Amino acid sequence: GQQVMQIPQYQHVQEGEDFTTYCNSSTTLSNIQWYKQRPGGHPVFLIQLVKSGEVKKQKRLTFQFGEAKKNSSLHITATQTTDVGTYFCAGHRTGTASKLTFGTGTRLQVTL
């Protein structure tokens, strides 16, 4: 079945450092969505990318969707303690409108 892997599994940075998580799917995706889940919370939608090679920015966050629509990345510039949480990518396999497959997640810890 479809698998979506993320690396790293966990990263600990000091406030002000940059952070990147990478997402790789075993199958081509029609879109990629990114969610953030704070400890004890629920996933919260951040952004969706649809086009091959698409790049979107949200303040300090930069999201990319690969040319082959099988991988994606999230880069955070100058992390803050409010960035703490687990970041999940999630995608719909081409041709399946309903089933959203989540990645394994990257847990980010930020300390002062």
Partner 1 sequence: GAGVSQSPRYKVAKRGQDVALRCDPISGHVSLFWYQQALGQGPEFLTYFQNEAQLDKSGLPSDRFFAERPEGSVSTLKIQRTQQEDSAVYLCASSFGTIGGVNQPQHFGDGTRLSIL
Binding site for partner 1 (CB under 8 A): 30-31, 33, 41-45, 48, 50, 88, 90, 92, 97-105
CB of residue 16 to partner 1, shortest distance in Å: 27
Helices (H) and strands (E) in the chain, counts: 0, 11
Q: How many CB atoms lie within 10 A of CB 85?
A: 20
CB of residue 97 to partner 1, shortest distance in Å: 5
Instruction: Report the residue number, 14 or 98, with the smaller CB distance to partner 1.
Output: 98
CB of residue 22 to partner 1, shortest distance in Å: 15
Tokens for 30, please give them.
């029609």
Length of the chain: 112
Contacts of 82 (CB under 8 A, 6+ apart): none
